[in-house]
Amino acid sequence: MIVFEPENGFSDREETVFPLGLVLADGKRTVTSFQSFKPLAVWLDSLPEEALFTPQTRASLLEKAKPLLSETGYTGEVFSSTVYRMTDRAQIHRSCLLSSTELLLPEHRYRNLTECEPDPLGEGYLCFGTVEKKKILSAASENPHPEDSPVIDIGVETAPGYTGRGFASSNVAALAYFLLDPGVTVTYIVEDGNPASARVAEKVGFMPGSRELRLICTLAEESGEK
C-alpha cells in the first residue's frame, strides 16, 4: 500500500524532510511518499520482502533519489532500522537498573558529556542519566512527540570511554518505567548495523516489532555542501 503525503517540507524549506519511507509490520508493508517521489515509491513497493532492508536496496534508493534531491537543494541518506516496543512495566528487566541512575533536570547544571540534554525546551520531557562527580556520562530521554501521544519514542547516548558498563541499559529501563502507563507504548529505534544498541533494547526487555526504511533529506547548506 502506498500513501501519499503533502510536500510541505520541501516547499517550506525545512531543515530535515522525510519524503519517502516504508514500514513492514506483521508481514504488511506501507509506503509513505511525496507525490513527486511516486516512481521510487512504486519501485520500493514492488521489491520482495527479503530485499527491502539490504545495503544494496539502500544504495539503489539513494542513487535513484539524487536527481530529485538535486532539484530541491537537499541531500539524502537512507536508513533502515528495527522498532523495539514495550507496553507494560512488567516487561522491564529490573536487574539492569544501577544505583548511579538518576532523574536529570536542567537546573542540576551537571557537566554533560553527551548530547542528550535534560528537557532542553522546558516541555516536561523526562530524562534519566548516569552521573559521576557532577558529570553526565550517559543519558536517556524522550524524543519530541504530540501531547498525550499513545506512543513515546526514547533515545540514549553514552559518552565515549564509558560504554560497556551498563549505563545505557539502566537509564533506558528507568525512563521506560516512568513513561509506561495503561495505553502507552514506549519505542526504541535501533538502526541496522548497531548491535550495541540492539543489546541495550533486549537487555532492558524491549521486543522487536516493525522494520522501517526511510529516506532522510537535509538542506545542502545545513549539511555543509554547496
Which CATH topology does 93-204 take? Aminopeptidase (3.40.630)
Give the model confidence (pLDDT) of 17-44 as tens digits. Answer: 889 999 999 989 999 999 989 999 999 9
If pLDDT is split at 50, 70 and 90, which confidence band does 226 have? Answer: very low
154, with CB counted inside 10 A (0-12, 13-18, 19+), is buried
Q: 70-103 pLDDT, tens per residue?
A: 888 888 999 999 999 999 999 999 999 999 999 9
The tens digit of pLDDT for each residue in 42-64 reads: 999 999 999 999 999 999 999 99
What pTM was computed for the model? Answer: 0.85
Q: What is the pLDDT of residues 141-162, one digit of tens each?
A: 999 888 889 999 999 999 999 9
Judged by DSSP in three states, 65 sits in helix
Cα separation, 125 vs 116, in Å, equals 12
Query: Which whole number is the average pLDDT over 96-119?
Result: 92
Q: Where are the domains of the chain?
A: 2-84+212-219, 93-204
Per residue in 165-223, pLDDT tens? 999 999 999 999 999 998 999 999 999 999 999 999 999 999 999 999 999 988 876 44
- Cα–Cα distances in Å, from 52 out to 32, 49, 129, 187? 15, 5, 36, 22
Residue 225: band (very low, low, confident or very high) from pLDDT cuts 50, 70, 90: very low
CA-to-CA distance for 109 and 55, rounded, in angstroms? 42
The C-alpha angle 80, 221, 78, rounded to 5 degrees, equals 10
